[in-house]
Amino acid sequence: MLSTMQDVPLTVTRILMHGMTIHGTSQVTTWTGEAEPQRRSYREIGERSAQLAHALKDELGVRPDDRVATLMWNNAEHVEAYFAIPCMGSILHTLNLRLPAEQLAWIVGHAADKVVIVNGSLLPLLAPLLPHLSSVEHVVVSGPGDRSLLDGATPRVHEYEELLTGRPTRYDWPELDERAAAAMCYTSGTTGDPKGVVYSHRSIYLHSMQVNMSQSMGLTDADTSLVVVPQFHVNAWGLPHATLMTGVNMLMPDRFLQPGPLAEMIEAERPTHAAAVPTIWQGLAAELAAKPRDVSSLTQVTIGGSACPPSLMAEFDRLGMRVCHAWGMTETSPLGTIARPPAHAVGTDEEMAYRLTQGRFPSGVEARLAGPGGEYLPWDGTSAGELEVRGPWIAGAYYGGADGEPVRPDDKFSADGWLKTGDVGVITPDGFLTLTDRAKDVIKSGGEWISSVELENALMSHPDVAEAAVVAVPDEKWGERPLAAVVLKEGATAGFGALREFLAGSVAKWQLPERWALIESVPKTSVGKFDKKVLRRQYAEGGLDVTTL
Amino acid sequence: MLSTMQDVPLTVTRILMHGMTIHGTSQVTTWTGEAEPQRRSYREIGERSAQLAHALKDELGVRPDDRVATLMWNNAEHVEAYFAIPCMGSILHTLNLRLPAEQLAWIVGHAADKVVIVNGSLLPLLAPLLPHLSSVEHVVVSGPGDRSLLDGATPRVHEYEELLTGRPTRYDWPELDERAAAAMCYTSGTTGDPKGVVYSHRSIYLHSMQVNMSQSMGLTDADTSLVVVPQFHVNAWGLPHATLMTGVNMLMPDRFLQPGPLAEMIEAERPTHAAAVPTIWQGLAAELAAKPRDVSSLTQVTIGGSACPPSLMAEFDRLGMRVCHAWGMTETSPLGTIARPPAHAVGTDEEMAYRLTQGRFPSGVEARLAGPGGEYLPWDGTSAGELEVRGPWIAGAYYGGADGEPVRPDDKFSADGWLKTGDVGVITPDGFLTLTDRAKDVIKSGGEWISSVELENALMSHPDVAEAAVVAVPDEKWGERPLAAVVLKEGATAGFGALREFLAGSVAKWQLPERWALIESVPKTSVGKFDKKVLRRQYAEGGLDVTTL
């Protein structure tokens, strides 16, 4: 039977129109490093988005479905691009300015970006790449920076502000299908080529609602959010969309991401909320310890990207900034879990335990744990499996390129369409997730899983151990077994036997490694994570001096 | 271009599964009038919903799209029906137990309800109707009440608890199209037959998210909501769905809606939030004045249905219960506006003015004002027009009956599909709505609109006036002009000239009525509202003694 409800599409355009009317006086404040930051109301953001859309269409020939890339910091112009491009029916492609140059070039080519909007300060990154970006017809430059770097560039070069000047501040936005593509973002996978996730208008709209729900971030127009998490990083966790839906003000740091300026802008602009990865907060905590400032406005801090060390959480609690963990990935838009403790735990000893989990699944995210044999495991807080998720803002495929169908690799998507996150963890009966390892690092021993991270943490708590990495190595009887590669502190003398005995105090006996190796340092990736595939290769090639206990 | 996101339907089933797992320990508490209320966890609600669905399917032969009606108070069993029926693919039809018997019979016939689930205490209402309900094959009785009233009834009679006993607590819920019908509710229009609104799974899901957003009700699992607004009244404003999405506990008053029991359950169960129409709160305020109780837990009160008198709002403020206005109708699911003052007004003199409006449109509701000539008016806080709304939880048609297409009467829906609300009002630039009149009562004079309600309120503030109604009467020159029908207080002597002069102090000169009549009392509808069509008829038939000034 048919319902009698209106069929109204959920689109980014609807978010923009709401934000610029109902919340027209809320503001985006962008730090400039000068005495006065740049301030722009949501009404102005909306009007300038219309001007940008007119310019892209009439001056640059951008058509529906064309990809327009941004290589930008967090600032008002980037917010304008966030709305102008999807609302005109084209696709916003945010480029990660931390990626190696060759990966960036590959991504721009795969997405076939027609236009790149770039901050002037990032021209030293873009200019040398341009000869390799054959799809790019136009470069639009915004903000300070040396334009001469673009001398002789093949694409046409435009000034952002000149493009907007004099154009109509209204645009007859098309009525779009809510399932149409709105934005795309590539994962920076450590193996293989980057993968493109293409968000729909629907996925962005629903994710924004969820972010604004009371059990998620739940900010209001009384809040100002300091958006440190980059706009090229999974849509800045959805904040630029979510804020326009509820009139939350945004404070944008632009390129001023060092602890000093961050502390300064918090004191000056008094945000109530901030969102960033833990390393940013570690720097800020050190800065505040060295040079105290009035940061009392900031009471809520959302931390994602990786787990927040308990010591850092405690330190921020002392500063009056309450940290809330969230977990997600490019493929999950990103809100996958958020660690608001349940009401019954607030004020009890349990509270911190809940806050240290990755958090609870919101209503739009379904979750299950796939065990070593592919069976689904109970939510009992102890059964560890690979996390699989489903929901209207979760990817079900990757972008296949301009002429290709979307791709669904078996190791990333289940046969029934769920996303395999590659994360291994446990879930409590009330839906709190704790991640224990990456699926590729977990040791699959005799039908059970051993967490490499747990063994490493246990080992590194030994006073003689500087660093330790545990990797899976092939084993005839058990399939895989753990190998412990240990870096001792200078002058330390602990033997493998003593270390194994020490480990036995915190993990089950069958999880104890038989194979041990002393190494000088643990190999690391460019972002400082343990690079375990290097260790596995060294082992396979006989490059490690292994003792078997 | 296609997005790569999963295509996951937004369904009531998803809300149920989330509520019974992630928030499995949250509770529905139902007042019983006994020492102990009935308590049921969301997990139990979910399991019993599965049992009810099995019973409806296997025992009563309910099929997809079949209508299952409820004639029930707010209680846990009604919540179970709210989920079991839509999740199995059938349609929940909530019956308004305040309607005249013949209207109820007409509605059941129009919806072709196959089953009625009824509370035992409502059998005196249902039993005499049954001979007229030819579509009804089964009656399911829940809770206390005299079953002998059903002796000799044609439909088969079942006991709710017996039906559930022993059935599986899991149900293989079908994957439904999010646009499929989930529930229906008839309007109690004062003119013509009642109109059926058919909610979809999608509309209910999105409305629930909006209710949970920080700028709407924004409750969390630390809250308990006292749901006084009936479940047969636009899905109890969406609370039974919204609460399962966030783990908010529900306190259900069942049939104990008198001020005494309400005060008692607030003191005993300590809800933090309540939702009801103003009359309920007026009674509660009087009760608390006569017999003080500890109602300090209750800090948030959502009031809708009609505007809350400022004096009542002030009184509740004094009691520590902060009143928040909301506006909606059966056709709007119902959240149309909610009066959270903007952050800049909080703590200022403006705050109360904002709180006394109907409120601000949430992100999912678009609004426009249609002026007397059909043109759309600016949001300037003074231009009055008929409110038209659009959104994914707004009706775009009415149910056309079992064999009919949905109907879209021109006076209810615009050519481009917006709902004409029949309410006249103004909207401020920041999107706050103030309703001033019903469209059918407004006086359309020379291309301008005169609010009958404003004139009435101004007249009734004269010390000699007991009651006054203003209606539109035909006028050759202006199209329509206001006629003032006045009831003087006993012994009062004010003449029409003096009253007209008094009015001139508060309304524009061109709005002043020329036609005046003394009457003994203002005709009223069954629910106590001014029945202006009676006055208009009396005028047309020459039944009023009219003086023209």
Of B8, B361, B396, the CB nearest to A391: B8
Interface contact flag, A181 B390, Cβ < 8 Å: no
Of B206, B214, B390, the CB nearest to A246: B214
For residue B144, being part of any structural domain is answered with: yes
- pTM confidence score: 0.94
| A229 shares its domain with A352 | yes
Q: Are residues A241 and A354 in the same domain?
A: yes
Q: Tell me how far apart the alpha carbons of residues B440 and B199 are, in angstroms, rounded to a whole number.
A: 26
Nearest to A117 by CA among A187, A66, A170, A166: A66
Radius of gyration of chain A (CA): 25
pLDDT band at B190 (very low <50, low <70, confident <90, very high): low
Q: A4, B398 in Cβ contact below 8 A?
A: yes
CB–CB of A180 and B3 under 8 A?
Answer: yes
Statement to judge: residues B282 and B223 lie in one domain? yes
Query: What are the distances in angstroms from CA B427 to CA A58, B118, B345, B386, B507?
Result: 35, 42, 17, 11, 19
Assigned domain for A134 exists:
yes
> Residue A27 and residue A76: Cα distance in Å, rounded?
9
Q: What is the pLDDT of residues A386-396, one digit of tens each?
A: 999 999 999 99
Q: Per residue, what are the HEC states of A227-244? A: ECCCCCCHHHHCHHHHHH
Question: Is A373 within the bounds of a domain?
Answer: yes
Smallest Cβ–Cβ distance between A181 and the set B3, B8, B431 belongs to B3
Domains of chain B: total: 2
* B15 contacts chain A (CB < 8 A): yes
A339 inside 8 A of chain B by CB? no
Say whether B449 is catalytic: yes
A325 and A257 assigned to the same domain: yes
Cβ-contact A105, A133 below 8 angstroms: yes
B408 and B526 within one domain: no
Task: Give the domain-ending residue among B396, B424, B452.
Answer: B424
The per-residue pLDDT for range A500-543, each reduced to its tens digit, is 999 999 888 999 999 999 999 999 876 677 889 999 999 999 99
Q: Is the pLDDT of residue A5 over 70?
A: yes
Token pair 């009651």 is found at B467
The torsion of the CA quartet A62, A67, A72, A76, rounded to 10 degrees, works out to 60
- Give the Cα separation of B190 and A59 in Å (integer): 56
Query: Is the Cβ pair B209, A214 closer than 8 Å?
Result: no
Q: Which residue has the tokens 């490694």?
A: A513
CB-nearest to A25 from B209, B393, B430 is: B430
Domain CATH number, residue A510: 3.30.300.30
pLDDT in tens, B89-125: 999 999 999 998 999 999 999 999 999 999 999 999 9
A214 within 8 A of B272, measured Cβ to Cβ: no
Q: Name the closest residue on chain A to residue B400, using Cα atoms.
A: A4
Q: Contact A441/A532 with Cβ under 8 angstroms?
A: yes
Reduced DSSP (H G I as helix, E B as strand, rest coil) percent helix, strand, coil of chain A, to 5: 30, 25, 45
The verdict on residue B154 lying in a domain is: yes
Contact between chains at B3 and A366 (C-beta distance less than 8 A)? no
Q: Which residues pair with B472 in a beta bridge?
A: B482
- Cα–Cα distance list, B68 to A60, B131, B188 (Å): 58, 18, 19
Given the structure tokens 């102005």, which residue do they identify? A44
Within 75-114 of B, beta carbons closer than 8 Å to A belong to 91
Each residue's pLDDT tens digit, A14-62: 999 999 999 999 999 999 999 899 999 999 999 999 999 999 999 999 9
B32: amino acid identity, one letter: T
| Closest Cα in chain A to B407 | A4
pLDDT confidence of residue B269 = 98
Q: Examine residue A431 and state whether it is found in any structural domain, yes or no.
A: no
Write down the pLDDT at residue A475: 92
- CATH number of the domain to which B136 belongs: 3.40.50.12780
For residue A79, give the 3-state DSSP assignment.
helix
DSSP SS3 for B144:
coil
Q: What is the DSSP string of A117-160?
A: EEEGGGHHHHGGGGGG-TT--EEEEESSS-GGGGTT-SSEEEEH
Q: Are residue A387 and residue A446 in the same domain, yes or no?
A: no
Question: Which of A44, A106, A169, A444 is labelled catalytic?
Answer: A444
For residue B391, name the pLDDT band (cuts at 50, 70, 90): very high
Read off the DSSP letter of residue A162. Answer: H
Judge if B457 and B308 occupy the same domain. Answer: no
**Does the beta-carbon distance from B246 to A10 stay under 8 Å?**
no
Provide the β-strand partners of residue B546: B517
Is A252 in the B-facing interface, judged by CB distances under 8 Å?
A: no
**Residue B524 has what pLDDT?**
84
In terms of domains, do B214 and B154 share one? yes
Q: Is residue A4 part of a domain?
A: no
Residue B432 falls inside a structural domain:
no
| Same domain? A357 vs A491 | no
Element (H, E) at B164: helix B160-164
Last-in-domain residue among A424, A451, A474:
A424
Instruction: Answer yes or no: do A91 and A174 share one domain.
Output: yes
Residue A29 DSSP symbol: E
* pLDDT for residue A473 is more than 70: yes
Q: Give the CA angle between residues B252, B283, B302 to the nearest 5°.
A: 55
Arithmetic mean of pLDDT, A261-289: 93
Whether the CB of A406 is below 8 Å from some CB of chain B: the reply is: yes
Q: For residue B178, tell me if it sits in a domain.
A: yes
Q: Is residue A357 annotated as part of the catalytic site, yes or no?
A: no
Each residue of B6-22: b (16+ CB within 10 Å) or e? bebbbbbbbbbbbbbbb
In a shared domain, residues B507 and B466:
yes
Rounded Cα distance, A265 and A284, in Å = 12
In a shared domain, residues B462 and B390: no
Q: Which residue type does B293 have? A: R
Q: Which of B4, B241, B297, B357 to mutate to test the interface with A (most CBs of A within 10 A)?
A: B4
Judged against a pLDDT cut of 70, whether residue B213 lies above it is answered with yes
Residue A363 and residue B209: Cβ atoms within 8 Å? yes
Give the tens place of pLDDT for each residue, A404-455: 899 999 999 999 999 999 999 999 999 999 999 988 899 988 888 898 988 9
Helices B42-58 and B76-87, axial angle in degrees (round to 10): 60
Active-site entry in B59, B169, B440, B444 = B444
B198 contacts A1? CB cut-off 8 A: yes
Tokens standing for residue B190: 């004062």
Q: Could A218 and B219 be called an inter-chain contact, meaning their C-beta atoms sit closer than 8 Å? A: no
Domain of B101 in residue numbering reads as 12-424
